[in-house]
Structure 1
Amino acid sequence: MNKQFDPGLTQTSRRNVLRGTVLAGAAAMTGAAAMAMPRRAAVPNAQPPVARFLQAEVQAQVEAAPVDLSGYTRVKQDLVAPPFAPVHEQVATGGPKLIEINLETTERLMVVDEDTGASIWALTYNGSVPGPLIICHEGDMIELTLRNPVGSMMEHNIDFHASTGALGGGGLTHVFPGEETVLRWKATKPGCFTYHCAPGGAMIAYHVCHGMNGAVMVLPRDGLKDVDGNPLPYDSIAYIGEQDYYLPMDEFGDYKTYEAAGEDYADSLDAMRRLTPTHSVFNGAVGALTGENALTATVGDTVLMIHNQSNRDSRPHLIGGHGDYVWETSFSTPPLTGVETWFVRGGTAMASMYTFKQPGVYAYVNHNLIEAVLLGATAHFVVEGEWDNALMEQVVAPHSFEA
């Protein structure tokens, strides 16, 4: 019997099997053909390999033994907009948690650069670029409700790099406008991880480069530690999402505008193929973390900086400070120490920690300075406190001299 219509499957499972067939077919296509594919048109014969795998995963879930959640405490995490972090424990108390979170796939027109009038129909989780930071501990469960509003123009899903199986959950979370789904996954690896939308084919790059990405931090249950096992607590988190945009231009070099999400699809693919971003910004827009929006701290504060880049490599540097401790890949390995510029691999999130020692303005930049200065990849920390001449002192003020 065709498993798509196996009476042993629930209605939801049958629907997901059918959806997997459709989406896998779309994943092999690019351009307007993928966008124009009928939403629920089945592909009854010659299913692509990806579709067969998705079918097998859904069927395996139906047949698998139910998960025993009796040892988990169910809690709700209220996600907040970047650059802030949700309320959380640095050291886990009690047993593992089942953490409920909600994400809504919001499509919104967003200004990228007020000076040039550049804008984009951003594809977002909960309305922000990047999507909200999610925090848990190793061994916890994340239970996500993903909702795509009725008024959306596009299909969305989510791939968690921190999770295991089904394309990071991407194969089980495709939601069309007006639909929602619930996905539960276990955090088995400590570290910082990217999540992003991955509908299939060219749409993966299109959605990621339109802002649909974010980060998960999976803390060790006993918190962060140095190489000798000493605790490394922090006073606050600064969550920075670096976003590369590829905005189409007209023949006069002006940025194009569009009436609705998805209307720029063909133009955007042409721009993206050049592999040269028009903007590389922190938290969605030029100046999103400078001026009145600058991050703040006080001398003596220890800040954990979480940096996500879902598409390209980056080289963050804190001008006037350092990475006291840097975890480029995992919390399972001892942190690097005393780092001047650290590395973010494309498609990853990572963490660095610094205790501020002097007041003033610190620029946090992508140290590809072309991107920092010309494309927008700059944030500022404004730090208050007492100056320490033992660390730095202007011995003689600038003055003219005789040749």
Structure 2
Amino acid sequence: MNKSSRLLLLSIALGGLTTGCTDEAQTKAQLDKYAATQAEKAEPKPMSIEEMEAHSAGGMQHSMPVSADGQMQHVMPAEPAGTHQSGMAEIGRRADDLPAPLNRTQAQRVSVDLYTDEIVAEIMPGVSYEYWTYNGKVPGPFIRARAGDQVEIHLSHGKPNVAGAAHSEHASGQHAAAGHSAHSIDLHAVVGPGGGAPLMQVEQGEAKSFSFKATHPGIYVYHCASPHVPTHIANGMYGMILVEPEQGLAKVDREFYVMQGDFYTSGNYGDKGLQAFSKEKMLAEKPEYFLFNGRVNSLSGDRALKAKVGEKIRLFVGVGSHIAANFHIIGGIFDSLYQYGAIMNPPLKNVQTTVIAPGSAVMIEFTAEVPGTYLLVDHSLTRAIDKGALAELIIEGPAQPALYKPIGQ
């Protein structure tokens, strides 16, 4: 490793020990200025959805495997950016927003386009927060490759082809003060220094690329690794990458993508208005919110996970930020649990709850047997009941009285 690479790795590591440019007071001042600017723009008319989307729209990555004859297959985004009734961007990624299982036997080149974006969005109704994102959603896009593939990661700081609109309210110095003058990516599926991060420190307006060979099948986390690293992660810069084995995965009927994150706001859970990031709470590991896919109720109601009786379901569940999860489905038992992302190992059978470490992931498979609404929770239940770590799985189909019924009716 050359001297500059060593210095870069050292600066990334030391980012966790220094206050750097993420001081809470500076962050709050930037958010207050942003809110005031938006309020001024809203008079005499509110900002249109189109204007908001110019600042904050995001979608899936373009995953472009190249066939043996050189043809590049372009997979378009699965979900366009949505909005809340408030007009703010929808920050949460849907659980079914992931690429289909691979259906090929040869290694190929897979190209993944990512961009970074800072977006003010609702963390719950009436409560907004500035998220830092990959492709405008939390978590970032689900990346899918096969063992033996050559994977190319292309990362731009800011949404491409928007002529700087994503940063129109910030000068470069303000970006530095807010702590996001640079972004990067560290993929746990990469065998190489920093998981790619030393090669991918992308300054405002820049774009960089690197490639790696996917050699180890598994389900892995990726995240930003620019100083101050914990802050970038806590603000939403994480996602997952699946490296399928050469023979592929067994067929299932449904796949879902769920990531738990902890969020640190200056106000208490539910306090209204634009909330600043609290570095003090993060350092004390006292989050106000534990969330699946970016916000309260991101995976509930019309965004719930849905399946039918008799269908086999596969869940990819990870922890993007700093505190381990205790993942459980109330009323469900995991037929097969692949711990630590080790999908090549024999699974554990008939598991009730699993601990998922920060920066780790699991693969869960089970069959939907009885119709109804099931709750996905962190079984440290104050996190689910009082801090947001709650989602719904709706199973539709005929009743199964042989398995589940009341007595005396």
TM-score scaled by length of structure 2: 0.74
Q: Is the 8 A contact 2:8 2:198 kept in 1?
A: no
Q: Is the 8 A contact 1:282 1:288 kept in 2?
A: yes
Question: Does structure 1 residue 95 correspond to structure 2 residue 106?
Answer: yes
Q: How far off is 1:328 after superposition? A: 1.0
Aligned to 1:28: 14
In the alignment, which residue of structure 1 is the partner of 2:349? 337
The answer to whether the aligner puts 1:131 opposite 2:140 as a matched pair is yes
Q: Please show how residues 61-76 of structure 1 align to structure 2 within 5 Å.
A: 75-76=73-74
CA distance in 1, matches of 2:312, 2:270: 44
Deviation track 1:62-119 (CA, whole Å, cap 9, x = no partner) reads: xxxxxxx9979654454544412443335x42310111111110110121121xx332
Question: How far did residue 161 of structure 1 move?
Answer: 0.4
Deviation of 1:190 after TM superposition, in Å, equals: 1.2
Deviation by residue 1:183-219 (Cα, 9 ceiling, x = unmatched): 111111111100000103xx11101111110001111
CA offsets 1:243-281 (integer angstroms, 9 cap, x no match)? 10011138x9946736xxxxx5xx621121221110001
CA drift of 1:34 comes to: 4.5
1:266-277 superposed matches below 5 A: 268-277=278-287
Unmatched tracts of structure 2, length 5 or more:
24-65, 79-92, 159-163, 168-174
Is the contact between residue 107 and residue 148 of structure 2 (CA under 8 Å) also seen in structure 1? yes
Indicate the larger mover: 322-331 or 24-33.
Answer: 24-33
What percentage of aligned pairs have identical amino acids?
29
- CA distance in 2 between partners of 1:103 and 1:396 (Å): 57
Partner residue in 2 for 1:49: none
Local SS of the residue matching 2:198: helix
Question: Pick from 319, 327, 331: which aligns with 1:316?
Answer: 327
Alignment check: 8 A CA contact 1:97 1:141 kept: yes
Change (3 A) 1:26 1:336: closer
DSSP-derived class of the 1:375 partner: coil
Give deviations 1:141-180, integer Å, cap 9, x for gaps.
2111111124443210000001111200011101011111
| Cα separation, partners in 2 of 1:70 and 1:360, compared to 1, 3 Å | closer
Q: Match of 2:189, SS?
A: coil
Match of 1:363 among 375, 383, 395: 375
Matched, 1:209 2:209: no
The letter of the residue matching 1:328 is Q
Name the aligned partner's letter for residue 14 of structure 2. A
For 2:266 and 2:198, locate their aligned partners in 1 and report how far apart those are by CA, in whole Å: 30
Q: Provide the rounded CA distance (Å) in 2 between the counterparts of 1:256 and 1:20.
A: 42
CA contact (8 A) 1:79 1:133 kept: no
**What is the correspondence of 1:3-402 to structure 2 with a 5 Å cutoff?**
17=4, 21=7, 24-25=10-11, 28=14, 33-34=20-21, 75-78=73-76, 80=78, 81-90=93-102, 92-114=103-125, 117-149=126-158, 150=164, 151-152=166-167, 153=175, 154=180, 155-200=182-227, 203-224=228-249, 232-249=250-267, 254=271, 257=274, 264=276, 268-310=278-320, 311-329=322-340, 330-397=342-409
What residue is the counterpart of 1:55 in the other structure?
Answer: none
TM-score by length of 1: 0.75
Shift of 1:377: 0.6
Letter in 2 for 1:343: V
Supply the distance in 1 between the matched residues of 2:208 and 2:339 (Cα, whole angstroms). Answer: 32
The alignment's C-alpha RMSD in Å is 2.7
Give SS of 1:28's match: helix
Amino acid of the structure 2 residue aligned with 1:28: L
**Partner SS state of residue 274, structure 2:** coil
The structure with the largest alpha-carbon Rg is 1
